[in-house]
Amino acid sequence: MQVLGIDIGGSGIKGAPVDVEKGEMLTERFRIPTPQPAKPKPVAKTVAKIARHFEWDGPIGCGFPAAVQHGMAKTSSNIHRKWVGTNAADLFSETTGCPVKVVNDADAAGIAEMTFGAGRGREGVVLLVTIGTGLGTSVFTDGVLLPNTELGHIIIDGKDAETIASDAARKSEDLSWKKWGKRFNTYLNRMESLIWPDLIILGGGVSKKYNRFISYIDVQAEIVIAESFNEAGIIGAALAGKPKS
């Protein structure tokens, strides 16, 4: 079965058809810059453009950078505040003419990795951290997702963690990999003290460069790199959008 997976990020909106039985993208992803400001209507129009690009008329799954409850956005850390209280699933369904399921973007990445990637078959507590514009998290216990954890926003030294340990923070402050790696290590150690994961999966675009910072990471949990890298959001969104039988 094929589902169009769309990953809505702070800087770009990407999509591709996915074979949800194999967990594989069927084409190269198509990317459009995220509208600025990222208000509901402009973002919805961009989602519709991606659907039209693939001439899509089937189910769609969207990973969205906010806590999502029953299709409704509850937070707005990396998107416009007007999303709060907006039913993103209904809005995207209206603009695309297709059935749309919306989930938190980090949860989507986690679903992909737990189904087909680095977390497949793993029991115990698994924490996935996506490192990008922000810090996204998803938490699984024996393969079961706890939705919308938003643990990238814990407070470290009086600051929101993602403002000091995300890839955006590394770039904006022009941090060396060593300095940023030590910050990210502080974040992971805080995660260990809170939820004691058996396995930590690192995803997002920065995960491709893990050799540059992995030597600065010192945690008790096993650490692995996401197998889908930054494609996990698209694949996981498609898996979430698969119609229930």
Assign residue 216 the CATH number of its domain: 3.30.420.40
Q: Are residues 126 and 103 in the same domain?
A: no
For residue 79, what pLDDT band results from cuts at 50, 70 and 90?
confident
Q: Are residues 11 and 98 in the same domain?
A: yes
Q: Are residues 82 and 125 in the same domain?
A: no
Q: Are residues 158 and 191 in the same domain?
A: yes
Q: Are residues 16 and 94 in the same domain?
A: yes
| Residue 77 confidence (pLDDT) | 75
User: Quick check: is 146 in a domain?
Assistant: yes
Task: Compute CA distances 23 → 5, 17, 118, 222, whole Å.
Answer: 11, 10, 13, 24
Question: Average of pLDDT values for 76-96?
Answer: 94
For residue 76, what pLDDT band results from cuts at 50, 70 and 90?
confident
| Residue 185 confidence (pLDDT) | 98
Give pLDDT tens digits for 114-155.
999 999 999 999 999 999 888 999 999 999 999 999 999 999
Instruction: Count up the domains in the chain and report the number.
Output: 2
Q: Are residues 145 and 218 in the same domain?
A: yes
| Residue 132 confidence (pLDDT) | 86
Q: To the nearest whole percent, how much of the chain has pLDDT over 70?
A: 99
User: Quick check: is 49 in a domain?
Assistant: yes
For residue 204, what pLDDT band results from cuts at 50, 70 and 90?
confident
Q: Are residues 89 and 152 in the same domain?
A: no
| Of 149, 27, 142, 41, residue with least CA distance to 91 | 41
Give pLDDT tens digits for 8-65.
988 899 999 999 999 999 999 999 999 999 999 999 999 999 999 999 999 999 999 9
pLDDT surpasses 80 at 245: no
CA distance linking residue 119 with residue 78, whole number of Å: 27
Q: Are residues 219 and 237 in the same domain?
A: no
Domain of 129, in residue numbers: 119-226
3-state SS of the chain: helix, strand, coil percent to 5?
Answer: 40, 25, 35
CA distance linking residue 85 with residue 46, whole number of Å: 20
Average pLDDT, the chain: 95
Q: Are residues 217 and 237 in the same domain?
A: no
Query: Using an 8 Å Cβ cutoff, are 200 and 189 in contact?
Result: no
| Residue 10 confidence (pLDDT) | 81
pLDDT surpasses 90 at 189: yes
User: Quick check: is 155 in a domain?
Assistant: yes
Give pLDDT tens digits for 216-234.
999 999 999 999 876 889 9
User: Quick check: is 213 in a domain?
Assistant: yes
| Of 74, 84, 140, residue with least CA distance to 112 | 140
User: Quick check: is 34 in a domain?
Assistant: yes
User: Quick check: is 113 in a domain?
Assistant: no
Q: Are residues 157 and 87 in the same domain?
A: no
| Residue 170 confidence (pLDDT) | 97
User: Quick check: is 43 in a domain?
Assistant: yes
Q: Are residues 125 and 31 in the same domain?
A: no
pTM, two decimals, is 0.92
User: Quick check: is 112 in a domain?
Assistant: no
